[in-house]
Amino acid sequence: MSTPTIEWIGGVDGHLRLIDQTKLPAETELLDCETVDDVWWAIRKLSVRGAPAIGVAAAYAVVLATSDSHESVKSACDHLATSRPTAVNLFWALDRMRRVADDADRDELAERLLAEAKAIHSEDAEQCAAIGRHGADLLEQTLAKGSGILTHCNTGALATGGDGTALAVLFELHRRGFGPHVYADETRPLLQGSRLTMWELTDRGVKATLICDSMAAQVMREGRVAAAIVGADRIAANGDSANKIGTYGVALHAKAHGLPFYVAAPTTTFDLSLATGAEIPIEERAASEITKPGGVMFAPEGVEVYNPAFDVAPAELIAGIITERGVINPVTTDTVTKMVAN
C-alpha cells in the first residue's frame, strides 16, 4: 500500500495525517489532523479504526496537545480515552504517553512525547511482521497449499501501524507462495470487509472472494475454507476475544464444521485485568448505521435498533491466538499469562 495509513508530518510542531477510511474504496482521501479534537473525531467516526491503529493515532494526538504543559497532556489523554470504549490499545497507548509526560521536564516534553509516539508506531509495525511470520508458520504446517481461509472485518495495514494482524498472516503466506484463497465477510453494518479488506487484498494480488456475512456457514459446509482467522480489539486474561460484531458467529460456524478458528493480535491487545470476556465493555453505535447507511433509508423511520459494534468469541472456540511472541495454544488463563505477562 503506497499511502501510509498513519503518518506524522514534520517535527514537534507538525501534524497527523491519516487515510480517511470512510471514503474507501471509492477514493483515497487524506485527513490532516492538527488538534486533539480532530483525532478524537477521526477515531469516533472511524476515519481511523482497528485497535492498533487507534492506539498509534491517539499517541500522536497527545503530541498535538503539547504546549509545554503537563496539564494539557493529561487533559488530552482523558479526552481521547472517551472516543471509543472497546479497543484496549487506545488506553494502553495513552497510559504510555502519560508515563513519559510524568517523567519529562517541561522544556523537553514535546520532543519526548513525539519520540514515544513514533516508538509506539514503529513497535506496532514490528509486531505485525512477527505475527505474520508466526501465523504463516502455523498455517503452512496445518493447511494444504491454496487452502481457502475465511476472515472477518479488516485487520490489515489500514487497521494497524504495520502490515496488519490476521491479514499480515495471509500476506505472508502469499509472499511465501502458499497461495491462500481468502474469503472475506462483508462485515455489516459498515462493510469493512468489502470496502477495506477486499481493497487491501486486491492491492496485494491475493486471491480473494467477497461473501455476505450470512454466507459463512454455507461456505464452510461446502468445504471452500479450511480455517478462519480474525483480529481482536480486546482479549481477556482467559483468552476470550472481542472483535467486530459477527466474529462470534464465525467462531460458532467453524466449531460446527470442525474447522480451526484463529485470532491474531499483538500482546498490547490483551487486558489481563479482565478475567473473562464478560467484563469487556461493548461499544454501541448509532442506529443510523443500520437504518440509513450512506444516507439511504433501509428501515422505517423511528424503528428500535440494537447496534453493538463488537461481540466476544469464547476461548473454548479459539484454536490458537497468534501473537508477535508466538502462538498461544491451548487458550487458557495459564497459557495467556505465560505468553503476555512477561
Angle at 340 between CA 337 and CA 342, to 5 degrees: 95
Superfamily of domain 6-123: translation initiation factor eif-2b, domain 1 (1.20.120.420)
Determine whether 233 is an active site residue.
yes
**How far apart are alpha carbons 226 and 6 in whole angstroms?**
33
Structural domain boundaries in the chain: 6-123, 129-340
Cis (ω within 30 of 0) for the bond into 330?
yes
**How far apart are alpha carbons 261 and 228 in whole angstroms?**
5
pLDDT value, residue 312: 98
**How far apart are alpha carbons 89 and 30 in whole angstroms?**
23
SS3 156: coil
Q: Are 269 and 89 in contact (CB under 8 A)?
A: yes
Cell numbers at 62, concatenated: 497527545
**Residue numbers belonging to the annotated binding site for substrate:** 49-51, 84, 192, 243-244
Residue 223, C-beta contacts closer than 8 angstroms, at least 6 positions apart: none
pLDDT value, residue 24: 96
pLDDT value, residue 106: 82
**Looking at the domain covering 129-340, what would its CATH class be?**
alpha beta
pLDDT value, residue 68: 62
**Catalytic residue (one of 233, 240, 271, 311):** 233
**Residue numbers belonging to the annotated binding site:** 49-51, 84, 192, 243-244
Tens digit of pLDDT at every position of the chain (342 positions) = 678 999 999 999 999 999 999 999 999 999 999 999 999 999 999 999 999 999 999 999 999 997 667 888 999 999 999 999 998 999 999 999 999 999 888 889 999 999 999 999 999 999 999 999 999 999 999 999 999 999 999 999 999 999 999 999 999 999 999 999 999 999 999 999 999 999 999 999 999 999 999 999 999 999 999 999 999 999 999 999 999 999 999 999 999 999 999 999 999 999 999 999 999 999 999 999 999 998 899 999 999 999 999 999 999 999 999 999 999 999 999 999 999 997
